[in-house]
Amino acid sequence: QVHLVEAGGDSVQAGESLRLSCQVSGTTISRGCLGWFRQRPGKEREWVANIVVERRDEAYANSVKGRFTISLDSASNTLDLQTNELKPEDTAVYYCAAGSGWCPDKSAYQSWGQGTQVTVSS
């Protein structure tokens, strides 16, 4: 069993930053996908970033590349997403997830957190 709990969502002004955290429990993750996704009302969940754990490789959606940073603290089993230079279009519920396969594809993920709301005002 894998459990993920997000925290850190807030309401901020455009240009500000937030650090989102995802606490992973039930297993120590040594390989596979750890990812962040987001979802706006009426839209499907979209990929934001992921780490391929065994390779320690990071990948980012074009919409956030250069602004967001994903990181994994293996000692604490915590997945973070540093979100800088936030824009109104970043407003969404952000989810962390764990799985395996093609990491940018949400179908690769078997375990999901409950989500945390990020709201960015202009």
Spell out the per-residue pLDDT of the chain, length 122, in tens.
899 999 999 999 999 999 999 999 988 888 999 999 999 989 999 999 999 999 999 999 999 999 999 999 989 999 999 999 999 999 999 999 999 999 999 999 999 999 999 999 99
Query: Can you name the residues that pair with 104 across neighbouring β-strands?
Result: none
pLDDT value, residue 4? 97
SS3 state of residue 102 = coil
What does the angle CA 70 – CA 10 – CA 98 come to, to the nearest 5 degrees?
35
State how far the alpha carbon of 107 is from the alpha carbons of 22, 25, 46, 54, in Å. 19, 21, 11, 19
Residue 33 CA to residue 105 CA, distance in Å, equals: 10
Contact in structure between 46 and 93 (CB atoms under 8 Å): no
Contact in structure between 97 and 81 (CB atoms under 8 Å): no
